[in-house]
Amino acid sequence: MSKLLIINPGSTSTKIGIFDGNTEVASHTLRHEASVIGSFHSVIDQYEWRIEEIKKVLADQGEALDSFDAYVGRGGLLKPIKSGTYRVNEAMLADLKKSIKGEHASNLGAMIAQGLATEYGKEAFIADPVVVDEMEDLARISGNSQFEKVSIFHALNQKAVAKRYAKENHLNYNELNLIVVHLGGGISVGAHKNGKVVDVNNALNGEGPFSPERSGTLPAADLVEISFSGKYTKGEILKMITGKGGFVSYLGTNDAREVENRAEAGDVEAKKIYDAMGYQVAKEVGSLAPVLMGKVDAILLTGGIAYSKMMVNFIKERVEFIAPVVVYPGEDELLALAEAANRVLSGEEEAIVYE
Ligand SMILES: Nc1ncnc2c1ncn2[C@@H]1O[C@H](COP(=O)(O)OP(=O)(O)O)[C@@H](O)[C@H]1O
Ligand SMILES: CCCC(=O)OP(=O)(O)O
């Protein structure tokens, strides 16, 4: 049985798991405030800080860093690739260091896993990175020949909970039509048709509902106006879309719990913005029903904000006319990463080579 360290960097958190085979021995979630994340110039600049935070957690747990057989990270913004387990290699690290597809905390997953694997002479893996691409051709058309829609979303957790739903109901994921909503620091809403995510909003770069730290779809012409107003740098505009959008822009926090507490305490603005996010999520779910020809087996709500009864109920009452709503609060990402690495380590599956 392999002992694994799982490293899952998100936009508002770092989640750490210690697994013995597919059994979780311990897990820990570090939540990061918007002001802390915002103090770094780039995601790569967070490398040392995140690794130190991970080391502190392991030290507290009395776990030696060299006691693991392999290190498994969440996969980041690579070239569009198929679902599966990948061994971290030089081509992957080079693309991540160049940020070929942009910046997101998940880029650090492979880097941290490889950093530790190199230090201790072990192996490093990623699985189902945020760029898993199963989109149908029609979903790629943006409306202007200069732009193409791309698949960037919570692939790991969306697929993990969809497979969990199938298993729990003795159904086959490859025969189901599901709409899966991940409610995290970013929000993605995906149409799963027969085991493939055929359409999904680009959860990172200005598409879909707004989220705790992202603006989602913005009025395009107004965005052009502000970009050429001379008041902001390109970097500042990009941060408005990702990092300083959504709750951060309206309310100064990326913490949905704080927004909910403020709303419950009578803060009218907090309530309006919280509800507006649910409203946009419900609209996005509705937009995917025609993709599945109206034949939706279930709508699955997951991610950190799916712990919120207030948010879940708000969305549920607007979309359950489409299909039954099933809630999986949090995420299955740590287990999904452990299982993915174990399939390779046990010889059940070959790791895919990233090129
Ligand atoms: N119990 C809870 N109720 C409401 N929101 C929560 C709860 N726990 C976490 N969240 C919110 O979920 C969001 C983070 O979700 P998560 O899936 O952990 O994201 P990420 O991986 O993007 O960092 C944060 O806004 C956090 O405040
Ligand atoms: C890059 C898409 C996945 C994403 O948004 O993850 P977080 O919610 O962890 O930021």
- pLDDT tens column, 296-354: 999 999 999 999 999 999 999 999 999 999 999 998 899 999 999 999 999 999 999 99
Which of 305, 334, 337 to mutate for ligand 1's pocket (most ligand atoms within 8 Å of CB)? 305
C-alpha 107 to ligand 2 mean position (Å): 11
Question: Does the residue 140 lie in any domain?
Answer: no
Which of 6, 7, 8, 13 to mutate for ligand 1's pocket (most ligand atoms within 8 Å of CB)? 13
Q: What dihedral do alpha carbons 147, 153, 158, 160 form, nearest 10°? A: 120
Supply the DSSP string of 29-72, one letter for each residue: EEE--HHHHHTSSSSGGGHHHHHHHHHHHHHHHT--GGG-SEEE
C-alpha 315 to ligand 2 mean position (Å): 20
C-alpha 342 to ligand 2 mean position (Å): 24
**What was the pLDDT predicted at 152?**
98
- Same structural domain, 256 and 323: yes
Question: Does the residue 69 lie in any domain?
Answer: yes
Q: Is the CB of 50 under 6 A from ligand 2?
A: no
Q: How far apart are CA 291 and CA 229, in angstroms?
A: 38
C-alpha 327 to ligand 2 mean position (Å): 19
- Same structural domain, 246 and 263: yes
Share of the chain above pLDDT 90, in %: 99
Question: Does the residue 292 lie in any domain?
Answer: yes
- Same structural domain, 91 and 214: no
Question: Does the residue 138 lie in any domain?
Answer: no
For the segment 136-145, the average pLDDT, to the nearest whole number, is 98
Of 88, 85, 84, 80, the residue nearest 112 (C-alpha): 88
Long-range contacts of 134-137 (CB under 8 A, 24+ apart): 134/82, 134/83, 134/196, 134/197, 134/198, 135/197, 135/198, 135/199, 135/200, 136/198, 136/199
Supply the DSSP string of 139-165, one letter for each residue: GGB-SSTT-B----S-HHHHHHHHHHH
**What was the pLDDT predicted at 1?**
84
Which tokens belong to 179? 């709409």
For the segment 243-269, the average pLDDT, to the nearest whole number, is 97
- Same structural domain, 198 and 316: yes
Q: How far apart are CA 47 and CA 71, in angstroms?
A: 16
Q: How far apart are CA 199 and CA 189, in angstroms?
A: 9
Close Cβ partners of 341 (under 8 Å, ≥ 6 residues apart): 2, 4, 70, 72, 85, 125, 127
Residue 263 has pLDDT above 90, yes or no: yes
C-alpha 89 to ligand 2 mean position (Å): 22
Task: Give, in order, the Cα–Cα distances in Å from 303 to each of 46, 176, 181.
Answer: 23, 21, 8
Q: Is the CB of 246 under 6 A from ligand 2?
A: no
φ and ψ of 4, to 5 deg = -120, 145
Which of 7, 8, 11, 12 to mutate for ligand 1's pocket (most ligand atoms within 8 Å of CB)? 12
**What was the pLDDT predicted at 203?**
98
What's 328's DSSP letter? E
Q: Which CATH number goes with the domain that contains 256?
A: 3.30.420.40
- Same structural domain, 265 and 250: yes
Which of 153, 201, 255, 277 to mutate for ligand 2's pocket (most ligand atoms within 8 Å of CB)? 153
Residues present in the chain in total: 355
For the segment 213-237, the average pLDDT, to the nearest whole number, is 97
Supply the DSSP string of 186-248, one letter for each residue: SEEEEEEETTEEEEE--TTTT-SS--SSB--S--HHHHHHHHTSSSS-HHHHHHHHBTSSHHH
**What was the pLDDT predicted at 124?**
98
Residue 63 has pLDDT above 90, yes or no: yes
Q: Is the CB of 81 under 6 A from ligand 2?
A: no
- pTM for the structure as a whole: 0.96
Ligand 1 is surrounded, with C-beta below 6 A, by 10-13, 184-186, 212, 254-257, 260, 303-305, 307-308, 331
**Residue 255 alpha carbon, nearest atom of ligand 1:** 27
Which tokens belong to 184? 């995290």
- Same structural domain, 319 and 338: no
Residue 275 has pLDDT above 90, yes or no: yes
Confidence tier at 287 by pLDDT (50, 70, 90): very high
42 close to 35: Cβ distance less than 8 angstroms: no
Q: How far apart are CA 33 and CA 37, in angstroms?
A: 6
- Same structural domain, 337 and 250: no
- Same structural domain, 187 and 124: no
**What was the pLDDT predicted at 352?**
97
- pLDDT tens column, 172-218: 999 999 999 999 999 999 999 999 999 999 999 999 999 999 999 99
- Same structural domain, 89 and 206: no
Q: What dihedral do alpha carbons 59, 63, 69, 72 form, nearest 10°? A: -50
Close Cβ partners of 205 (under 8 Å, ≥ 6 residues apart): 102, 152, 241, 242
Residue nearest to atom 22 of ligand 1 (CA): 185
Residue nearest to atom 5 of ligand 1 (CA): 305
C-alpha 347 to ligand 2 mean position (Å): 30
φ and ψ of 64, to 5 deg = -75, 135
Question: Does the residue 186 lie in any domain?
Answer: yes
- Same structural domain, 65 and 190: no
Per the structure, the complete domain to which residue 286 belongs is given by: 155-329
Q: Is the CB of 184 under 6 A from ligand 2?
A: yes
Q: Is the CB of 305 under 6 A from ligand 2?
A: no
Q: How far apart are CA 49 and CA 40, in angstroms?
A: 10
- Same structural domain, 180 and 163: yes
Close Cβ partners of 204 (under 8 Å, ≥ 6 residues apart): 77, 102, 104, 130, 152, 186, 214, 242
**What was the pLDDT predicted at 145?**
98
- Same structural domain, 126 and 161: no
For the segment 84-108, the average pLDDT, to the nearest whole number, is 97
Q: Is the CB of 152 under 6 A from ligand 2?
A: yes
Question: Does the residue 236 lie in any domain?
Answer: yes
C-alpha 307 to ligand 1 mean position (Å): 8
The count of structural domains within the chain is: 2
Question: Does the residue 198 lie in any domain?
Answer: yes
Of 310, 321, 301, 280, the residue nearest 179 (C-alpha): 301
Question: Does the residue 147 lie in any domain?
Answer: no
Query: Where are any strands of DSSP class E within 280-335?
Result: 298-303, 325-329
Confidence tier at 94 by pLDDT (50, 70, 90): very high
